[in-house]
Amino acid sequence: MESIARLSLNQITTERASLEATVEACARHGIPYVAVWRHKIAEVGLERAVRLVRDAGVRVSSVCRGGMFPAPTAAGRAARIDDNRRAVDEAAALGAEVLILVCGPAPDRDIGAARGMVADGIAEVVPYARERGVRLGIEPLHPAFAAERSCITTLREARCLAQTFDPATVGIVADVYHIWWDPELYDEIARARGHVVGFHVSDWLVPVRDVLMNRGMMGDGVIELPRIQAAVQGAGYAGPIEVEIMNEAIWNTPLDTLLPLIKERYVACV
């Protein structure tokens, strides 16, 4: 059990299952943490989500996601801030350690301006999150998603942004799928000491087909997982490690087959 003491099942890995089925399976297979997505909370309502997680005896490593700050109008940006406050509320209710921020794409061709909207948006959410004891985790996304999901694409950019805030409230989330290719990967992980608030694992499959759904089970791709894990640990991160895999074949695997495989690969490959 010690070897999986930090393991968290990110719920997108079991996208076809309900929150109830997922947390029950975590409990049955001894997986101590779950990362909860908001569309799964919405399916059952927040109160019932809180009860399901509590009754299963599973802890919540993160809620996914806040962010999506850039919008073409001030009213649009204000609506995003409101939605982020609701996400903070959900994270607080679930006792989540972190609210993941997927920062959002530019609404037009001006990615620089969008980055400014992200910084402004986080600044607006910070006081609300601090009051509720929720940390915000800026997750840089792979540059393949720069036009559709996040204008924040590198560890360096996420770290520099996080360092403009109190580290008790804002940090960065390192997801191997998004960062493995970075020539400054290890330097940046070291520089992020004290700012890492989440660590996500999966693998990069070859060949790439659909880049969104290309994530694989740890060990099935090209990512140097043990080296990255050692670096993140060396930078002081000792929290939950989420397994986050978007992949149709994995989504179609029954939970009682999938969860033992996740545990096995986590122990062997991470």
- Applying CB under 8 A, which residues contact its own copies? 106, 108-111, 115, 142-148, 151-154, 156-157, 180-183, 204, 206-212, 221-224
Q: Decide whether 71 or 129 has the Cβ nearer to its own copies.
A: 71
Cα angle 173, 176, 178 (rounded to 5 degrees) comes to 80
Q: Decide whether 17 or 205 has the Cβ nearer to its own copies.
A: 205
**β pairing state of 203-204 and 215-216:** antiparallel
Q: Decide whether 92 or 146 has the Cβ nearer to its own copies.
A: 146
Residues facing residue 199 across a β-bridge: 174, 241
Q: Decide whether 52 or 228 has the Cβ nearer to its own copies.
A: 228
Q: Decide whether 99 or 118 has the Cβ nearer to its own copies.
A: 118
Helix axes 19-28, 46-56, angle to 10 degrees: 10
Q: How far is the CB of 104 from its own copies (least distance, A)?
A: 13
Q: How far is the CB of 165 from its own copies (least distance, A)?
A: 18
Q: How far is the CB of 121 from its own copies (least distance, A)?
A: 17
Q: How far is the CB of 164 from its own copies (least distance, A)?
A: 14
* Residue 188, C-beta contacts closer than 8 angstroms, at least 6 positions apart: 154, 155, 156, 159, 182
Q: How far is the CB of 197 from its own copies (least distance, A)?
A: 20
Q: Say if residues 62 and 98 touch (Cβ distance below 8 Å).
A: yes
Q: What are the phi and psi torsion angles at 59 (to 5°)?
A: -95, 155
Q: How far is the CB of 195 from its own copies (least distance, A)?
A: 17
Q: Decide whether 55 or 184 has the Cβ nearer to its own copies.
A: 184
Of 95, 12, 99, the closest CA to residue 54 belongs to 95
HSE-up (13 A, CA, CB side) for residue 111: 11
Neighbour tally for 132: CB within 10 Å: 14
